[in-house]
């Protein structure tokens, strides 16, 4: 394949949905795989739905993902501008061309009139009204009106739209790289609006004009676009561009984790899971969301997870770096059926990525997490924490929630363990253990362990009698890394103080019971 040029074309109406991120990913992978060009185009033709912060959000999200566009707003490229609002005059020109060639027509019907017709049809039992070849001759447009009447309306600055005149009795074939041939009967197709009354194009016109102008070779987009692709083919034909029409690939949808339908932003807040790459602060709490990044996901894991939602390499490899995804990616391996969003799988990927990281690389990330709780520590200390904890976390914030005792005093003690393991009559023994720790000059994990072993031998105790007590004293929980490693890291004085305090707490607990 030569000159592969693909575009990711989001609409700046809010935060970029994770499904959009996957579309961007597949476009990016396809472009890079074929040494092609990845283009970002902002489809801001709907002035009523435009959201100020959305474009910068999209760009930041792509940046986080590592999908740097080769061309796009703020980047440049020889096919710009890359914001459709800045290409407005182009669309009007092409719409006019279609009018002149008889492939499109003026329609003066107002939205209110059309709504009224829809209502009336509904009342008569017709499920939907379609503005199509069957009815266009009866409506308020340049098909029915005389040339003079049309001119008069135009001269009077009456609002109009331009509609595509869909030909009758044709079979429109869409060749889809994922689904094969998809056929549509043109009589089923409505006369889509191309140019809106505000002078802006609809998606249908803008996307064809721009894909043509930007020499797009492949359109990779969500399956929700498949039905309107017939119109797009008709448009290419109307313009005489069918020979350079891009190839289409319609991606399966990402479905809700539970229940029916495609994943929506509501599912995020409802289930407490991220469905956006980055956090989004909307005007209301309802419209604000926590992103994958802020949940503590690694971007590599997110990419890997998303890549596998609808695609697979055909091998049994599961973990793919970005370069490996590029290498392995192919449209042939994209599935046809919708993929359910599996949050457990996403977390598993994240855990894999954290475990695979260098302890050193984890240091700044852990520092960021604990600093949110007002703590800091040396690089060496954090590196040790990374080594001890990375196999025990799934999301970055777990470095705090599961390991806060490395950074501050124990706040909660696992009562079940106290009940089972603390024998108040052994208090003198354990006091003695702390005394032995105090004697240690070399408070290393090995020395601590040796001390404990001697202590156990002296009093005929087992690991099970001593270690849980140490764990509770040091961390409040029985879960965690090697207790000797934890003790050595936290340090003699702190540990000894914690132990003494814990003895009192455990005694008290037993007194209360």
Partner RNA sequence: GGCCCGUUCGUCUAGGGGUUAGGACGCAGGAUUUUCAUUCCUGAAACACGGGUUCGAUUCCCGUACGGGCUGCCA
Q: Which of positions 274-313 make contact with RNA (CB under 7 A)?
A: 308-310, 312
Measured from the CB atom, is 129 or 236 closer to RNA? 129
**Chain residues 25-84 in contact with RNA, contact rule CB under 7 A:** 43, 45-46, 48-49
Judged by CB under 7 A, which of 53, 110, 451, 497 binds RNA? Answer: 110
416 is catalytic: no
Q: Which is nearer to RNA, 379 or 453 (CB)?
A: 453
* 314 binding RNA? (CB under 7 A): yes
Q: Which of 480, 489, 490, 496 binds RNA (CB under 7 A)?
A: 480
The residues in 250-279 that bind RNA, with binding defined as CB under 7 A, are 252-253, 255, 260-262
Q: Quick check: 121 binds RNA (CB under 7 A)?
A: no
Q: How many residues bind RNA (CB under 7 A)?
A: 84
Does residue 88 interact with RNA by CB under 7 A? no
* 505 contact partners, CB below 8 Å, separation of at least 6: 413
Strand arrangement, sheet containing 104-107: 104-107, 161-164, 193-195
| Cα dist from 280 to 139, 268, 291, whole Å | 44, 12, 7
Residues 338-357 that bind RNA (CB under 7 A): 338-340, 342, 344-345, 347-348, 351, 355
Q: Report, in Å, the least distance between residue 429 CB and RNA.
A: 17
Q: Does 337 bind RNA (CB under 7 A)?
A: yes
- Using CB under 7 A as the binding rule, whether residue 150 contacts RNA is answered as no
Kindly tell me which of 463 and 508 has the beta carbon lying closer to RNA: 463
Active-site choice (192, 196, 265, 390): 265
Site for RNA in 406-465 (CB under 7 A): 463-464
Q: Kind of pairing, strands 5-8 and 37-40? A: parallel
- What is the 3-class SS of 465-504, one letter each residue? HHHHHHHHHHHCCCCCCCHHHHHHHHCHHHHHHHHHHHHH
Cα(189)–Cα(182) distance, integer angstroms = 14
- What DSSP element (H or E) covers 506? helix 492-512
Judged by CB under 7 A, which stretch of 110-118, 277-285, 374-382, 426-434 contacts RNA?
110-118
Q: How far is CA 345 from CA 174, 321, 341, 394, in A?
A: 34, 17, 9, 11
Q: Which stretch binds RNA (CB under 7 A): 108-116, 286-294, 419-427, 496-504?
A: 108-116
**Long-range contacts of the stretch 488-495 (C-beta < 8 A, 24+):** 488/443, 488/444, 488/445, 488/448, 489/381, 489/384, 489/385, 489/388, 489/406, 490/405, 490/406, 491/443, 492/437, 492/438, 492/440, 492/443, 495/437
318 forms part of the interface with RNA (CB under 7 A): yes
Q: Which two tokens stand for residue 431?
A: 């006091």
Cβ at position 206, least distance to RNA in Å: 7
Q: Least distance (Å) from RNA to the CB of residue 336?
A: 4
- Single out the segment in contact with RNA by CB under 7 A; choices: 179-187, 274-282, 357-365, 433-441: 179-187
| CB of 310 closer than 8 Å to CB of 339 | yes
Neighbouring C-beta atoms of residue 161, cutoff 10 Å: 24
Instruction: Pick from 78, 124, 127, 416 the residue near RNA by CB under 7 A.
Output: 127
Q: DSSP labels for 39-107?
A: EE-B----TTT--TTHHHHHHHHHHHHT---SBBTTTB-TT---BGGGGHHHHHHHHHHHHHTTSEEEE
* Contacts made by residues 127-130, CB under 8 angstroms, sequence distance 24+: 130/190
- Output 9 or 238, the one with its CB closest to RNA: 9
Side-chain-side CA neighbours of 417 within 13 Å: the count stands at: 20
Q: Tell me the closest approach of the beta carbon of residue 405 to RNA, in angstroms.
A: 12
β-bridge mates for residue 262, sequence order: 255
Site for RNA in 189-218 (CB under 7 A): 190, 193, 196-198, 200, 202-204
Nearer to RNA, 35 or 419 (CB): 419
Q: Kindly tell me which of 43 and 71 has the beta carbon lying closer to RNA.
A: 43
Q: Which is nearer to RNA, 207 or 217 (CB)?
A: 207
Please select the residue that binds RNA; options are 130, 144, 153, 215, rule is CB under 7 A.
Answer: 130
Between CA 12 and CA 49 the distance in angstroms is: 8
Catalytic residues: 265
């Amino acid at each position: 394949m030569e000159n592969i040029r693909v575009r990711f074309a989001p609409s700046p109406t809010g935060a970029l949905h994770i499904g959009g991120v996957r579309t961007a990913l597949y476009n990016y992978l396809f472009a890079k795989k074929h040494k092609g060009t990845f283009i970002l185009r902002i489809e801001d033709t709907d002035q009523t739905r435009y959201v100020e912060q959305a474009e910068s959000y999209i760009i930041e999200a792509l940046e986080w993902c590592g999908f740097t566009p080769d061309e796009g707003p703020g980047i440049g490229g020889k096919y710009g501008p890359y914001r459709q609002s800045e290409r407005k005059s182009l669309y009007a020109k092409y719409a006019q061309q279609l009018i002149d060639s008889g492939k499109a027509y003026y329609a003066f019907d107002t939205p209110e009139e059309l709504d009224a017709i829809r209502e009336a049809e509904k009342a008569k039992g017709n499920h939907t009204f379609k503005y199509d070849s069957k009815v266009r001759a009866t409506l308020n447009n340049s098909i029915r009106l005389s040339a003079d009447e049309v001119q008069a309306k135009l001269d009077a600055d009456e609002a109009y739209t331009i509609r595509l005149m869909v030909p009758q009795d044709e079979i429109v074939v869409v060749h889809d790289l994922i689904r094969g041939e998809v056929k549509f009967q043109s009589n089923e197709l409505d006369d889509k609006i191309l140019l809106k009354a505000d002078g802006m194009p609809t998606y249908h016109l803008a996307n064809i004009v721009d894909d043509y102008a930007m020499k797009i070779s492949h359109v990779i987009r969500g399956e929700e676009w498949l039905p309107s692709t017939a119109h797009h083919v008709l448009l290419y034909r109307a313009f005489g561009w069918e020979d350079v029409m891009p190839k289409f690939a319609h991606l399966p949808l990402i479905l809700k984790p539970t229940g029916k339908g495609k994943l929506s932003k509501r599912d995020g807040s409802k289930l407490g899971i991220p469905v956006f790459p980055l956090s989004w602060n909307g005007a209301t709490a309802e419209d604000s969301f926590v992103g994958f990044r802020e949940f503590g996901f690694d971007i590599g894991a997110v990419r890997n997870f998303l890549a596998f939602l609808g695609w697979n390499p055909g091998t049994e490899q599961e973990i793919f770096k970005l370069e490996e995804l590029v290498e392995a990616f192919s449209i042939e391996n994209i599935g046809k059926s919708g993929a359910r969003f599996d949050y457990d799988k996403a977390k598993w990927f994240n855990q894999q990525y954290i475990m695979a990281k260098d302890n050193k690389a984890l240091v700044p990330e852990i520092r960021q997490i604990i600093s949110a709780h007002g703590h800091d520590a040396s690089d060496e200390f954090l590196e040790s924490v990374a080594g001890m904890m990375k196999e025990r976390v799934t999301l970055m914030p777990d470095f705090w929630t599961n390991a806060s005792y490395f950074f501050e005093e124990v706040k909660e003690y696992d009562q079940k363990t106290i009940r089972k393991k603390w024998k108040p009559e052994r208090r003198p023994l354990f006091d003695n253990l702390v005394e032995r720790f105090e004697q240690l000059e070399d408070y290393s994990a090995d020395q601590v362990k040796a001390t404990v072993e001697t202590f156990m031998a002296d009093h005929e105790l087992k690991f099970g009698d001593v270690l849980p007590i140490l764990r509770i004293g040091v961390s409040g929980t029985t879960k965690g890394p090697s207790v000797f490693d934890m003790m050595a890291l936290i340090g003699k004085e702190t540990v000894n103080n914690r132990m003494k305090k814990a003895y009192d707490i455990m005694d008290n607990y037993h007194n209360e019971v």
